[in-house]
Amino acid sequence: MMTGLDRRKFLQLAAMAAAGVILPSCGSEETGTRYTNSDIAKLAQQRLDEGLRSGGGPFGPLRFNGYRGLAELPWFELDDNGQLRNVALDLPKAIDMHCHLGMSLLLAPDVDLQKPTGRVIHLLDCDATNPGCELDLDVYINRNFSEQAVDALWWGSAAQGLWGSSSASTQTIPNLLHEMDACGVERASIMPIAFDLPFGDDLTERWIEAIEIAGAQRRLIAGCSVHPQDPARFKKLRSYASAGARIIKFHPTMQRAYPDSDVMMELYSECERLGLIVFFHCGRAGIEPESTHRYAMPRHYEAALKTYPNLQFILGHSGARDVAEALPLAVRYDNVWLDTHGQGVSTLHDMLNQTGGERMLFGTDWPFYHLAASLAKLLIITEGQPDRRFALLRGNAQRLLSLSGASV
């Protein structure tokens, strides 16, 4: 009989096989000079401390019954259809710097990205039941995944590459725009990931085309991705930039590439020449295979930040569960921006006080989560601070996009 742990490993293997990301020592850490036992211990301690600190910060407990439960906050309410809406008329129209669309890879049928559906199935599907799953805004957001939800995530990842994902089929452009309208989000940056698959690995091309077909270029900012080992990576970079991409997404854990490797450093040089913003997945999120953790340690990013001072870098998730190591990079380097998605309210409050918030960016990681989950956190920490609220929700993103030559 398959145990819970065995099932988890099986689902991880199936998902990685579907995405072409079979990794050595799957399910176990690989230690050495670049990833140490101390790193492993710090992650375990972070997870423990996070649970103990939840609700003990300046804003008290912040636990809700699913995304719909956010209607308890003063900025939201449920409409006649039970859908969450932002009803605060005095808020700035937000710019979301971290979004995706529904993925289909390898053998999976293409997602019809132009099709509206009844509801969005987020990958943390907190509103699948009524009342919804407990949503704690004061922890790193992945802590809200139950074991069953993590298994469902891995099963869905496998489906995206093999037989097609029912959740991905709801993660379409009309559904994203509808959720953006409901939450008061004006624009969103759409970022694919290149997996280096033998076929069915053309998310950048498909998503740029889908945005054009939808006529959504004024609202959706096209991003791109190349795999560091793709022989055509430089040609593709130039092609994507010519097609209007302004941001490139690198995912060291999924692409199995250290951010300071020679091949990556060469890519940054071309990104700088093309005027692209570099968005990194940074840090350990805690739900990915442990064997990938070594690539995402924040210290591996510093060489790039230092070598290319004129290239703008976004650290996705602010370093995730390694935020304590990522935050000093944003303090030391003026070309580093922090994507706020995922961090708990108390951590975001500390980040705001330590950095002044001048390079903190609103991000949601949609469709993993409802836009309102990230929005609510920034509204909480900026209550009574209109200038900072404008900066985090809109102003900082406008400033960053203007540096890349993107229309704002």
**Distance of alpha carbon 153 from alpha carbon 284, whole angstroms:** 17
230 falls within a domain: yes
The residues facing 64 across adjacent strands are 135
E strands in 245-399: 247-250, 277-281, 313-316, 336-339, 360-361
Specify the CATH number for the domain of residue 191: 3.20.20.140
pLDDT of amino acid 30: 55
Tokens of 389: 């609220």
Task: Please give the C-alpha separations between residue 199 and each of 158, 194, 202, in angstroms, as whole numbers.
Answer: 16, 11, 8
pLDDT of amino acid 146: 85
**Distance of alpha carbon 397 from alpha carbon 97, whole angstroms:** 7
365 falls within a domain: yes
**Would you state the torsion angle of the CA atoms of residues 181, 184, 186, 189, taken in this order, to the nearest 10 degrees?**
-90
Q: Is 188 helix (H, G, I), strand (E, B) or coil?
A: strand
Question: Following DSSP, what letter does each residue of 103-148 receive, concatenated?
Answer: ---TTSPPP-TT---SS---SS-TTSSSS--EEETTS-GGGG--HH
Amino acid at 299: R
Question: Following DSSP, what letter does each residue of 339-363 receive, concatenated?
Answer: E-TT--HHHHHHHHHHHTTTTEE--
**Distance of alpha carbon 76 from alpha carbon 81, whole angstroms:** 14
Least confident range from 23-27, 242-246, 295-299: namely: 23-27
pLDDT, tens only, 9-30? 444 444 454 444 433 333 345 5
Element (H, E) at 187: strand 185-190
Cβ neighbours of residue 358 closer than 8 Å, sequence gap 6 or more: 391, 396
Q: What is the mean pLDDT of residues 282-286?
A: 93
pLDDT of amino acid 156: 81
pLDDT band at 407 (very low <50, low <70, confident <90, very high): low
Query: 319-351 b/e with 16+ CB inside 10 Å = b?
Result: bbbbbebbbebbeebebbbbbbbbbbbbbbbbb
217 falls within a domain: yes
**Distance of alpha carbon 355 from alpha carbon 150, whole angstroms:** 33
> Percent of the chain at pLDDT above 70?
91
14 falls within a domain: no
- Looking at every residue in the chain, the average pLDDT score rounds to 91
Q: Is the peptide bond before 367 cis (omega within 30 degrees of 0)?
A: yes
Sheet holding 220-224, edge to edge: 94-99, 185-190, 220-224, 247-250, 277-281, 313-316, 336-339, 360-361
Count structural domains, the chain: 1
Is 34 within 8 Å of 300 (Cβ atoms)? Answer: yes
pLDDT band at 161 (very low <50, low <70, confident <90, very high): confident
pLDDT, tens only, 177-220? 999 999 999 999 999 999 999 888 999 999 999 999 999 999 99
pLDDT, tens only, 340-392? 999 999 999 999 999 999 999 999 999 999 999 999 999 999 999 999 999 99
Q: How far is CA 232 from the centre of its chain?
A: 26
DSSP state of 70: G
50 falls within a domain: no
45 falls within a domain: no
DSSP state of 90: T
Q: Which domain holds residue 346?
A: 65-80+95-403
Q: Which of 232, 192, 230 is nearest to 209 (CA)?
A: 192
15 falls within a domain: no
| Residue in the structure block whose two tokens are 């742990």 | 5
Q: Is 227 helix (H, G, I), strand (E, B) or coil?
A: coil
**Distance of alpha carbon 117 from alpha carbon 264, whole angstroms:** 39
348 falls within a domain: yes
Using a 10 angstrom Cβ sphere, with 0-12 exposed, 13-18 middle and 19 or more buried, the burial of residue 22 is: exposed
Task: Please give the C-alpha separations between residue 201 and each of 198, 207, 258, 277, in angstroms, as whole numbers.
Answer: 7, 12, 21, 22
Is pTM beyond 0.85? Reply is yes
